[in-house]
Amino acid sequence: ETGVTQTPRHLVMGMTNKKSLKCEQHLGHNAMYWYKQSAKKPLELMFVYNFKEQTENNSVPSRFSPECPNSSHLFLHLHTLQPEDSALYLCASSQDRESPVYGYTFGSGTRLTVV
Amino acid sequence: QKEVEQNSGPLSVPEGAIASLNCTYSDRVSQSFFWYRQYSGKSPELIMSIYSNGDKEDGRFTAQLNKASQYVSLLIRDSQPSDSATYLCAVNIRTGGFKTIFGAGTRLFVKA
């Protein structure tokens, strides 16, 4: 496999459920990101990991919990979400946080619906 | 003022015409600039990057950067229906580390 792979592609969950989103990159990149994309809004950066260390948390509610066990894998654990959390969640990677010369490679995204 | 502004569109152009997409940004210390294409239901795909003033051409795409006026544009020559998508402008600013700010995107519709 090449590029950035995200699973699942679609997820419907109740407000009391716990679920996890998974992202894997096969590009040898050192930085990984979670973005949220809501309709007609700019991409919102949620979390940044550089060399497995979290370097940024953009005031994201604690019901979203990231995990980065190594430079190739990134998870987003979800619990007690709200309907307004319904959005497209995108994982991205780049060579590293300090040299974004080549921009990001995005995964295919997870379309999350909270009911 | 939004940090990165784009006209939401839709911008409609006939097949074969030049599509011109514009983006303005507010931060003067912006370092690098990107255009992403996002088809409906898909994820963004990087199509162009530009770092210095002037034009950069890649096939049918030309990115133009004017740091003094704080705008960056994307021209698509010989537009095709397959170019119909949302185009996202992204700007990197150095504030300690790097921070990437995205615009909300411009929807482009190329009529056959």
CA distance A84 to chain B (A): 18
Nearest chain A residue (CA) to B4: A42
pLDDT score for A58: 78
Of B34, B97, B99, the CB nearest to A103: B34
With H, G, I as helix, E, B as strand and everything else as coil, classify residue A95: coil
Nearest chain B residue (CA) to A41: B104
- A107, with CB counted inside 10 A (0-12, 13-18, 19+), is buried
State the Cα angle at A113 between A72 and A82, rounded to 5°.
95
Q: Are strands B11-14 and B106-111 parallel, antiparallel or unpaired?
A: parallel
**B25-63 burial, b for 16+ CB within 10 Å, e for fewer?**
bebeebebbbbbbbeeeebbbbbbbbeeeeeeeeeebbb
Sheet containing strand B71-76, edge to edge, reads B4-6, B19-25, B71-76, B61-66, B54-58
> In a structure prediction context, what are the per-residue pLDDT tens digits for chain B, which is 112 residues long?
668 999 988 999 999 999 999 999 987 777 789 999 999 989 999 999 999 999 999 999 999 999 999 999 999 999 999 999 999 999 988 766 677 889 999 999 999 9
**A20-78 pLDDT, tens digit each:** 999 999 999 999 999 999 988 899 999 999 887 887 777 899 999 999 999 999 999 99
B49–A102 C-beta distance less than 8 A: yes
B105–A108 C-beta distance less than 8 A: no
pLDDT score for B25: 93
| Residue matched to tokens 């040299």 | A99
B49–A106 C-beta distance less than 8 A: no
Residue A65 C-alpha from the chain's centroid: 10
Residues 6+ apart with CB under 8 A from A61: none
CA distance A75 to B101: 23
B46–A43 C-beta distance less than 8 A: no
CA distance A32 to A53: 10
CA distance B17 to B79: 5
Residue range A91-107: mean pLDDT, rounded: 82
CA distance A66 to chain B (A): 19
Nearest to A103 by CA among B26, B70, B57, B98: B98
A42 touches chain B (CB under 8 A): yes
Cα distances (Å, whole numbers) of residue A26 to A2, A22, B53:
5, 14, 33
- Asked if the bond preceding A83 is cis, omega within 30° of 0, the reply is no
pLDDT score for A91: 97
